[in-house]
């Protein structure tokens, strides 16, 4: 008989790209225990779930098929437990949130503090990931809610808008463009600091320049808002950043906003959830609190 624990261990190995060592560390069990569980699962199913060894371990076609069912089974178990918890008078149970970095660093913490003050019975998990990874996390049912900019295409989901997300064009105070009013063509030719692939901010900037038939000539890729702010202070280029992430740098005078046509680029923040997954009482309560919030000052990451 296949057990839920076997499915949980199988799922953790898949989520760690086939690494038994990493899965064991995440589950706080020994590596031999994970290996024995996988062998027992494969024996019960009569098929190999993985091919290769070590870092070369990958799902077989049978493993890919079984992984799809495993996600659904574990998701249904979580949904069933939450459905029972939702019969309580107050939201309780679990709430899993994934947020893109700017939202996770500057928007969610203050709301989460207020939410937990009001609903201490809820166990909350907050994950921070770029837009592409956050979308996949939501798709796979690892999160009840995603906090991001534009809702993802190709996902059967619902969303609620809760605030504007203004992208400002910035440079360091000592940069040659500081205090000038360059045109968008000059910006395209300047060294430009970009977030990594999968970032919503990066996608918005690339779409904007493409719509103007312009190509960014020189780019440097950095993996966080803080890294971009540091690079701006050093005069390494210009960048488009969410206003809430750049606010303190602007206030201190270390970075300055450039007055360029098409900027600020105004986007929106959304709370997103799968249409096919019932919104739990904790998720509904958090969504209402997120939508009803007013951002007065950015929260330091």
Which pLDDT score is estimated for 299? 41
Query: From the CB of residue 96, how many other CB atoms can be counted at a distance below 10 Å?
Result: 21
Rounded Cα distance between 133 and 85, Å, is 29
Last residue of a domain, one of 82, 98, 123: 82
146 occurs within a structural domain: yes
157 occurs within a structural domain: yes
Which pLDDT score is estimated for 277? 82
Q: Which residues pair with residue 123 across a beta bridge?
A: 94
What tokens does 196 get? 């990594």
Which pLDDT score is estimated for 293? 67
Do 64 and 152 sit in the same domain of this protein?
A: no
Q: Note if the pTM is more than 0.85.
A: no
pLDDT of residue 210 exceeding 70:
yes
Do 261 and 278 sit in the same domain of this protein?
A: no
Mean pLDDT of the chain: 89
Do 272 and 159 sit in the same domain of this protein?
A: yes
Do 156 and 72 sit in the same domain of this protein?
A: no
How much is the average pLDDT of 42-58?
A: 86
Which pLDDT score is estimated for 193? 96
Which pLDDT score is estimated for 244? 93
Enclosing domain of residue 173: 165-266
300 occurs within a structural domain: no
Rounded Cα distance between 120 and 35, Å, is 38
φ, ψ at 171 (rounded to 5°): -145, 170
pLDDT of residue 160 exceeding 80:
yes
Do 14 and 141 sit in the same domain of this protein?
A: no
Percent of the chain at pLDDT exceeding 70: 95
pLDDT of residue 86 exceeding 80:
no
Enumerate residues 6+ apart whose C-beta is below 8 A from 123. 93, 94, 95
Judge contact between 216 and 239, C-beta under 8 A.
no
Rounded Cα distance between 120 and 117, Å, is 6
pLDDT of residue 84 exceeding 80:
no
pLDDT of residue 5 exceeding 80:
yes
In Å, how far from its chain's centre is CA 189? Answer: 30
Which pLDDT score is estimated for 294? 46
Q: What is the 3-state secondary structure (H, E, C) of 102-159?
A: HHHHHHHHHHHHHHHHHCCCEEEEEEECCHHHHHHHHHCCCCCEEEECCCCCCCCEEE
What tokens does 269 get? 């923040």
What tokens does 208 get? 């904007």
Query: From the CB of residue 243, how many other CB atoms can be counted at a distance below 10 Å?
Result: 19
Do 39 and 110 sit in the same domain of this protein?
A: no
Do 156 and 277 sit in the same domain of this protein?
A: yes
Rounded Cα distance between 157 and 185, Å, is 37
**Confidence band (pLDDT; 50, 70, 90) for 298?**
very low
Enumerate residues 6+ apart whose C-beta is below 8 A from 185. 214
297 occurs within a structural domain: no
pLDDT tens by residue, 112-151: 999 999 999 899 999 999 999 999 999 888 899 999 998 8
Do 262 and 286 sit in the same domain of this protein?
A: no
pLDDT tens by residue, 117-128: 999 989 999 999
Which CATH number is 239's domain given? 3.40.190.10
Flag the least confident range among 78-82, 236-240, 251-255. 78-82
Do 145 and 187 sit in the same domain of this protein?
A: no
Percent of the chain at pLDDT exceeding 90: 71
Domain count, the chain: 3
């Amino acid at each position: 008989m296949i057990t839920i624990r076997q499915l949980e261990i199988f799922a953790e190995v898949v989520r760690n790209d086939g690494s038994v060592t990493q899965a064991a560390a995440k589950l706080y069990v020994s590596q031999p225990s994970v290996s024995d569980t996988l062998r027992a699962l494969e024996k019960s199913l009569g098929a190999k779930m993985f091919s290769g060894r070590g870092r070369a371990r990958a799902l077989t076609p049978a493993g890919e098929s079984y992984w799809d069912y495993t996600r659904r089974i574990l998701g249904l178990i979580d949904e069933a437990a939450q459905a029972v918890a939702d019969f309580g008078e107050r939201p309780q149970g679990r709430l899993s949130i994934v947020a893109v970095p700017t939202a996770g660093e500057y928007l969610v913490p203050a709301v989460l503090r207020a939410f937990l003050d009001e609903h201490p019975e809820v166990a909350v998990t907050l994950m921070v990931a770029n837009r592409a990874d956050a979308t996949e996390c939501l798709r796979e049912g690892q999160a009840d809610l995603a906090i991001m900019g534009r809702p993802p295409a190709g996902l059967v989901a619902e969303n609620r808008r809760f605030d504007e997300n203004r992208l400002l064009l910035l440079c360091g105070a000592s940069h040659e463009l500081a205090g000038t009013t360059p045109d968008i063509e000059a910006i395209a030719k300047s060294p430009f600091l970009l977030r990594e692939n999968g970032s919503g901010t990066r996608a918005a900037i690339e779409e904007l320049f493409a719509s103007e038939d312009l190509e960014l000539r020189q780019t440097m890729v950095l993996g966080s808002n803080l890294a971009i702010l540091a690079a701006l202070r050093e005069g390494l280029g210009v960048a488009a950043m969410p206003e809430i992430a750049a606010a303190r740098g602007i206030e201190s005078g270390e970075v300055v906003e450039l007055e360029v046509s098409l900027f600020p680029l105004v986007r929106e923040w959304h709370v997103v959830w799968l249409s096919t997954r019932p919104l739990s009482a904790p998720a509904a309560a958090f969504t209402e609190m997120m939508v009803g919030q007013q951002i007065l000052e950015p929260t330091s990451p």
